[in-house]
Amino acid sequence: MKSNIMKKLLIVLVLVFFSTPTFAGDYQFYFFGINSKFFKEAKWGYIVLGVATSAATHWVGHMAYGKIVGADVGTDGVWRETIRNASPTDNANFARSGFVAQSIVGLVLTSFEKSRKWDFTKGYVAMNAIEIWTYPIRWRNEGDIHLLNKYGNGNAEWAGYSVIALHNILREDFKR
């Protein structure tokens, strides 16, 4: 009996927390700060294109850096970029190049009022943030951060990229 009351109270609190009354008397619901109207009005094809472009930009950043320095680069599986026969500096720069490429493109997209309104940009910066923020969980003792830690302080760099991703997310208007 007591748990039923607690469940109902929790549901009411969540609904109140995620909704905002307007002066017209209707309610607007928010999910993690995103207005529910956004989910209905968004052009999902552009959002998906932004998500895919963000992931591809990370990959291209690695490959481009490797080709620029003349290193032997390739892929080991779908998402694992590799560099062989490279100096420690080139290894570290190769590891950071994916994050740097994603961050630069995200900063450019969110720097202009017009491009900030694009659904493509929303998808791009959302994927960029998700990819960066979950990277230590997804690639525990391997991947870019692990390689950066081998040659410096990858955790500090990850924090910097995380701040840039947060900056880009906060510049987007998901509330419409």
93/105 Cα distance (integer angstroms): 18
Give the C-alpha separation, 40 to 151, whole Å: 46
Does pLDDT of 39 surpass 80?
A: no
Give mean pLDDT, residues 27-38.
56
Which residue from 12, 22, 23 is spatially nearest to 175, judged by alpha carbons?
22
Q: Report domain extents, the chain.
A: 2-31, 37-171
Between CA 65 and CA 96 the distance in angstroms is 10
Model confidence at 37, pLDDT cuts 50, 70, 90, reads low
Return the structure tokens found at 68: 């620029």
